[in-house]
Amino acid sequence: MDAVGKSQSSHAEAPRFAITPSWARCLIALTFELFGTWLTKSSLYPQYTAVLPVARDASSLVGVATLVVLAVWALRKPSSLDERSITTASFVLYSAGFALVVMGIAQQSAPLLLAGACVRSVGSRWVVVLMGVSLCALSKRSCMLCIASAFVASYLLRVPFADIGVTAGMVTLFVLPFATYAAVRPLALGMLDLTKRAVPPVEASITQPAAYVPFAHGLFVAIFIFRIAYGFALTFGSVDGNPQQTFFGMVPVVILLAMACMPNVPKADVLYQAAALFVVGGFLMVVVLAGRVLDDMTLAHGLLYAGSECFDALMWFVLASIGARNRVNALAVFAWGRAASSAGLLFGATVGHAVNATPDALVAAIGIAAVLFLFVAMNFTVLKPFGFQATIDGVRSTESVTSSLRVVGLRERGASVAARYRLTPRETEILELLAHGRNGPFIQEKLVLSRNTVKTHVANIYAKLGVHSQQELIDLVERADAVGADA
């Protein structure tokens, strides 16, 4: 059994925590990822700004596009995901891009820097996704402790690198993705193997809709909206286009550790509530202090940074938790979630920098107040019925759908259920196939129907029967059989 299988990645409660090889690998990899993000902002992006400021935004946009491609690929054609080929291509692109970036900076060449930044961004996204799906191998409590510990470790690593030279920083930054990949590869291979062997999520979601989080789900809308708000907020007081970071970044670590150490782990929404409060508080401090005490915005920056770190920790945890419940769809969910995050951050930061450039303090204050109002309004309207923990709990585990029904009499039982719930003749045909454990592609081929037609029929059958998965449908037919036998 592979490392992922051994971990029983259901994120169910564990009575006690133990340091396992899987946990240690995830800790090392996530620490490198978080530290690499900080090192990129502190060592690389200032050099982008000196040559071509737009290179940063362009590379972020290309990174979003790469994540979208990976998400759609994993959703529709997971069997073609060859880890060795993709990893090799990613590292070749990453290395070539990094070399172009170095040459562009050395020669002060905007075209070289732009090309290198974009190519490097494409090559680095694959490792980030592998890092994410590897977290799905941990239990709920272990995952929280891993994320909190990784934040602490990344902060500690920043101390010796705070005043490090540019050359040493660039060399370290170049090596980190390779080290991250080496740490998570055993876990990632197990996850990818499951993804490749399974029915494509786009097809499996027809018969098991409750096990798959669609790309239009409120989860990704919430991620996008929050990232816009704090991407906008963190541009205030930025240096060389980078947000100021303070000791307030330890706040999410304290919250995560407290949550993980409680007998019953609290809901993930606690992190979102804390993040939203910090960001709103930071916005208000900016409005109050802007134009008055320009040299002392530490509190405002601290609140905004604490909010951003809380939400970042929440994203890692929520996406890993959803992936743990449905490992087949983990890669698609994680890639799409990170794409929504990066897109929101890019959009918010772009607007923020535009407002920052406004010489009129009143216009800047109005812009801040408008974004704050929209953020609060979205939380009270569009996102009011949404919950991160409810989303996690709502994803049903994708155990293999098996039927213990005897073939003899199956047609009669299906007909009985169909008559009771007033199914149409076509729905009755599909019900019988579902009761046999058949999946969407088989039904499409057997009945010569399109995917959308089968999806519509299955949705109607589930709605009429009051079930949410194929296994529940099978159980319902089995119970109908039992009633018939007793009669």
Please check whether the two domains, 3-394 and 410-486, share a CATH topology: no
Contact 282, 307 (CB under 8 A): yes
Q: What is the pLDDT of residues 28-67, one digit of tens each?
A: 999 999 999 999 988 898 899 889 989 999 999 999 999 9
CATH number, domain 3-394:
1.20.1250.20
Q: What is the pLDDT of residues 73-109, one digit of tens each?
A: 999 999 999 999 999 999 999 999 999 999 999 999 9
Q: Judge whether residue 278 has pLDDT over 80.
A: yes
Q: Which CATH architecture has domain 410-486?
A: Orthogonal Bundle (1.10)
Q: Looking at per-residue confidence, does 448 or 11 come out higher?
A: 448
Q: Judge whether residue 243 has pLDDT over 50.
A: yes
Q: Judge whether residue 425 has pLDDT over 50.
A: yes
Q: Measuring CA to CA, which residue among 335, 317, 235 is closest to residue 272?
A: 317
Give exposure, 435-473, as e/b (b: 16+ Cβ within 10 Å).
bebbbbbbbbeeeebeeeebbebbeebbebbebbbbbbb
Average pLDDT over residues 435-459: 88
Q: Judge whether residue 15 has pLDDT over 80.
A: no
pLDDT at 296: 57
User: Directed axis angle between helix 470-486 and helix 451-465, to 10°?
Assistant: 50
d(CA 471, CA 464): 15
pLDDT at 400: 47
pLDDT at 124: 96
Q: Where are the domains of the chain?
A: 3-394, 410-486
pTM of this structure? 0.85
Q: What is the pLDDT of residues 313-334, one digit of tens each?
A: 999 999 999 999 999 999 999 9
From 6-10, 380-384, 451-455, the region with the lowest mean pLDDT: 6-10
pLDDT at 484: 44
Q: Judge whether residue 13 has pLDDT over 50.
A: no
Give exposure, 210-228, as e/b (b: 16+ Cβ within 10 Å).
bbbbebebbbbbbbbbbbb
Average pLDDT taken over every residue of the chain? 84
State the pLDDT confidence band at 3, using cuts at 50, 70 and 90: very low
d(CA 118, CA 52): 13
Q: Looking at per-residue confidence, does 62 or 357 come out higher?
A: 62
